């Protein structure tokens, strides 16, 4: 396994050459992509105990990796006795993911996924006078499970039930790109997804699932503790599916939703093809803090490339008829720490807009008490841009993935954040959206 984590410049070059010619799809996964995902998993495991949720053949989502890597907790250093953890549940009703309060054995096992998704696992130790939560740097037990779900039997059960959550919720999101944890920091997840699907897609995908059910669709049968009242009426499908989406978000302790769309709803051929939390008519997402941060889509970045990859002096045309989303930041105390002239955001050039959005997300990450969901429309262009920026920024500050060097973290973010979640690099090279990611990381 040590060989898999040794990343050289040549490995990154080979990854980019493959990525440039191949858009990842789970149903078309091959030996090369499985080897890449295997390296990603081993890089994750240098600092985290991980669960792997299988997505073989794209059963959960075709544009998600065949192995969804879910970090459960940071690995405690060898020789350090972890403190006792308190795990108060935050869900309003029992969650199948929250099996029991995990225990910690000094020098041994770490808390299960259930303690993370319920938002209850909180502990800190002091190193050189500095408190650190669930310290990293270490290695997994040598006798780890070889099954698809890594770790303890409790984690295996949690992984199975998480998968059941996903199967129920996936149609709520565009292209079935459901919320999935991408980063674990201070006991909270930063998740990623697509925006909410519109009626035509939701009914269409649900109809296909009805005609061609998967073997695991039986997950819908064990809903004794379900918050959602079941009904056979098609009119209730909309409400039921979005309620399951909310339930999945709550299970991951998401309290903040970051919407990067410049539209309230995406329109194609005169029809609404997607929706978003900010315009949900039934206010189902009213318990979440919804940040509307309109950010230009990949088409705009052709101009960025033509100007020699400089965001200075490059302005988005906010007067276009389809641009109807307004900037909304509910917590003024957060926004005030980043800038004082948010009302003038449409006068900012691309560089300043990108910098302030990133600073705002980092502020929420550091000071927020709940997890965060980031999405654009499909979740494979602007979403990986900000997920990658967050991962690289937190890594550069020594806060996550502390065992990884610069080549390892670069490999991980390109392979996992971008490629494995369906980014079409072959098409996007003409737009070069990803270039802003590297520019913003420069000092």
Residue identified by tokens 């996924």 is 113
Residue ranges with strand state E in 75-145: 124-127, 130-133
Among 226-230, 250-254, 278-282, 410-414, whose mean pLDDT is lowest?
A: 226-230
What's the full length of the chain, in residues? 443
Q: What is the pLDDT of residue 161?
A: 81
At residue 428 the predicted structure's pLDDT band, cuts being 50, 70 and 90, is: confident
Alpha-carbon distance of 282 to 274, in angstroms, equals 16
Alpha-carbon dihedral sign for residues 308, 311, 315, 320: positive
User: How high is the pLDDT of residue 206?
Assistant: 56
Give mean pLDDT, residues 241-259: 94
Q: What is the band of 248 on the pLDDT scale with cuts at 50, 70, 90?
A: very high
The larger pLDDT score, comparing residue 307 to residue 272, is at: 307
Q: What are 156-195's pLDDT values in tens digits?
A: 566 778 888 999 999 999 999 999 999 999 999 999 999 9
Q: What is the pTM of this model?
A: 0.79
For the cut 50, the answer to whether the pLDDT of residue 112 exceeds it is: no
Q: Over 70: is that where the pLDDT of 145 sits?
A: no
What is the model's pLDDT at position 298? 84
Report pLDDT for 431: 66
CA 442: distance to chain centroid?
24
CA atoms of 47 and 417, how far apart (whole Å): 17
Question: What is d(CA 366, CA 400) in angstroms, rounded to the nearest whole number?
Answer: 12
pLDDT (tens digit per residue) in 7-33: 999 999 999 999 999 999 999 999 999
User: HSE (CB half, 13 Å, CA atoms) of 400?
Assistant: 26
**Can you name the residues that pair with 419 across neighbouring β-strands?**
none
pLDDT of residue 159: 72
Residues 232-239, mean pLDDT to the nearest whole number: 62
Catalytic residues: 376
284's tokens:
């189902």
Which tokens belong to 213? 């059910």
What tokens were used for 391? 């991962």
**Where residue 432 falls among pLDDT bands split at 50, 70, 90?**
low
The number of angstroms, rounded, from the C-alpha of 189 to the middle of its chain's C-alpha atoms is: 8
pLDDT of 304 higher than 60 = yes
CA–CA separation, 145 vs 130, rounded Å? 34
Residue 194 in tokens: 């697509």
Please check the confidence at residue 334 and state whether its pLDDT lies above 90. Answer: yes
Of the ranges 97-111, 264-278, 317-331, 426-440, which one carries the lowest mean pLDDT score?
Answer: 97-111
């Amino acid at each position: 396994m040590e060989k898999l984590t040794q990343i050289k410049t040549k490995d990154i070059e080979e990854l980019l050459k493959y990525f440039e010619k191949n858009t990842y799809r789970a149903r078309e996964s091959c030996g090369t992509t499985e080897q890449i995902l295997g390296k990603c998993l081993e890089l994750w495991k240098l600092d985290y105990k991980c669960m792997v949720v299988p997505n073989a053949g794209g059963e959960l989502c075709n544009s998600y990796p065949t192995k969804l890597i879910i970090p459960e907790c940071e690995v405690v250093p060898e020789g350090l006795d972890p403190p006792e953890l308190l795990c108060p549940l935050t869900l309003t009703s029992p969650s199948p993911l929250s099996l029991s309060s995990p225990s910690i054995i000094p020098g041994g096992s770490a808390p299960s996924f259930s303690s993370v998704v319920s938002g209850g696992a909180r502990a800190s130790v002091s190193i050189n006078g500095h408190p650190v939560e669930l310290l990293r740097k270490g290695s997994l037990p040598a006798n780890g499970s070889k099954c698809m779900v890594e770790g303890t039997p409790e984690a295996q059960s949690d992984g199975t039930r998480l998968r059941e959550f996903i199967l129920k919720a996936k149609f709520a999101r565009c292209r079935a790109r459901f919320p999935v944890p991408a980063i674990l920091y201070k006991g909270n997840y930063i998740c990623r997804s697509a925006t909410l699907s519109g009626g035509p897609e939701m009914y269409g995908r649900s109809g296909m699932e009805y005609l061609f059910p998967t073997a695991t669709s039986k997950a819908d049968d064990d809903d004794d503790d379900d918050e959602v009242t079941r009904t056979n009426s098609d009119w209730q499908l909309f409400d039921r599916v979005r309620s399951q989406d909310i339930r999945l978000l709550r299970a991951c302790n998401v309290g903040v939703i970051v919407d990067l769309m410049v539209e309230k709803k995406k329109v194609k051929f005169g029809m609404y093809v997607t929706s978003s939390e900010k315009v949900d008519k039934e206010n189902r997402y009213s318990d979440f803090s919804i940040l509307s941060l309109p950010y230009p889509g990949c088409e705009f970045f052709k101009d960025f490339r033509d100007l020699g990859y400089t965001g200075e002096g490059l302005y988005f045309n906010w007067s276009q008829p389809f641009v109807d989303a307004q900037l909304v930041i509910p917590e003024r105390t957060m926004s005030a720490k980043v800038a004082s002239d948010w009302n003038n955001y449409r006068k900012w050039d691309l560089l300043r807009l990108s910098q302030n959005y990133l600073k705002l997300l980092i502020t929420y990450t550091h000071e927020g008490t709940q997890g965060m969901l980031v999405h654009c429309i499909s979740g494979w262009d602007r979403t990986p841009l900000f997920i990658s920026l967050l991962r690289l920024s937190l890594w550069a500050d020594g806060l996550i993935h502390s065992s990884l060097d610069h080549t390892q973290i670069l490999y991980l973010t390109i392979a996992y954040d971008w490629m494995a979640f369906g980014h079409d690099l072959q098409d996007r090279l003409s737009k070069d959206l990803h270039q802003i990611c590297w520019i913003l990381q420069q000092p």
